Amino acid sequence: MDTYNPCVSCGACCAYYRASFYWAESDFAVPGGVPHALTDHLYTHYLMMKGTDSAAPRCIALKGVIGSQVYCEIYEQRSSVCRNFPPSWENGELNERCDKARVKWGLPILDREAWTVHHPDDFPKAA
């Protein structure tokens, strides 16, 4: 059975937490970095993704419908805070922060089987 990535039908973490990171991760400092135009200044030496510092956060790079179908518009350029956020059970370990964001959005918390069970709404595999 193919591995299923539940993140493509979630997006809760991108609409729950502030995504802040060291300024040198932006394309202002390094080619191919996080697009500086999509960030706001947080404090000395730190930026944050636009849209993530509010009472109802949603990262500007998150596209789609939370809990249905989502993707990150800058996936290959995303910051370390996003790259290092492990969804629950991806690596065999629970992530309470993932669970907390999913619950806020009315989504069930992930279990170990979430990564292996085939879901009927999976996209067909490209040849």
Pull the structure tokens for residue 114: 């979430």
Residue-averaged pLDDT of the chain: 90
Which residues neighbour 39 within 8 Å (Cβ) at sequence distance 6 or greater? 26, 47, 48, 49, 50
Report the predicted TM-score, pTM, of the whole model to 2 decimal places: 0.85
Q: What is the mean pLDDT of residues 59-75?
A: 96
CA 45 vs CA 21, 23, 25, 60, 69: distances in Å? 9, 5, 10, 21, 34
Q: pLDDT, tens digit, for every residue of 21-59?
A: 999 999 999 999 999 999 999 999 999 999 999 999 999
